[in-house]
Amino acid sequence: MKCYRCGGAIVLISGKGSGYYGCFNAKRKTCNNTLLAPRKRIEKTLISDLKEKILTTENIGYVYKRIEKLVSKGLNKIPEQIKEKKSRYEKILSEIQNYLNYIKTGKFSNAVSEALKEAEDKGGALKKEIDLLLYQKQNKFTSPPKEWISHRLEELRDTLNQNTVNSSLALKELLGSISLEPVTDKKSDFYYIVSNGDIKFKPYYIAHTKIQTLALLDDKYKGTNWLHWRREWDSNPRYCC
């Protein structure tokens, strides 16, 4: 994690209780973000929101279906590409045969040898491209069944619940770099302002992650958990001092 203000690392500053996260640069007096957040509260809220709003069979299944759709769209051009490359490959084979026939007549030279090698190299490269296209055509990506997705999600949730190094690696892979933005006064707290001061204010952090970009996958899904998780994340995970 990093500090939203200075870009410095968010590290365990205090060992009291389960520990508190804070900006390392603030400890060095080079950042004014002095807000501390309980380690357990950050981890619990983050993992809880992930499991309830993002790591669902419906959401992951949707992503797989989108990938399948995009892959299929790209594969529509493969038959035409194969046809075009096969035509070029046959011409090169014919060119190679002409060079060989010329050499058989005894009219060998360095120029002919170099031209033959160049044609063979082109033919070899085209053959690999054709084989790859054929493989892609025959092994089209298909989204896995819901049962498989649910099983894998259960394994991931188990890993997250264990609170181990593996859990940290899984979160890093999913969320990327997490930036914590401190909200330290009433004037900066949108929810305090709109409530006209009816709620009690406490300093808290807003977590920014790359997960919010998932809402941009499809307009149809912008009203579901993909986007709501980002909105609610700004208000609910208030990691107070």
Written as six digits, the tokens of 142 are: 């298909």
- pTM exceeds 0.85 for this model: no
How far apart, in whole angstroms, are the C-alpha atoms of residue 59 and residue 226? 8
How far apart, in whole angstroms, are the C-alpha atoms of residue 189 and residue 71? 44
Domain boundaries of the chain, sorted by first residue: 2-60+177-235, 77-138
pLDDT in tens, the chain (241 residues): 888 889 999 888 876 777 888 999 998 899 999 888 888 887 777 777 777 777 788 888 888 888 888 888 877 888 888 999 999 999 999 999 998 888 888 877 888 889 999 999 999 999 999 999 888 888 888 889 999 999 988 887 777 777 556 666 666 766 677 788 888 888 777 767 777 777 778 888 887 776 643 433 444 444 444 334 444 444 444 444 4
- The three-point CA angle 201-48-59 to 5° equals 120
**What contacts 180, CB < 8 A, 6 or more positions away?**
1, 2, 3, 4, 10, 21, 37, 205, 206, 207, 208, 239
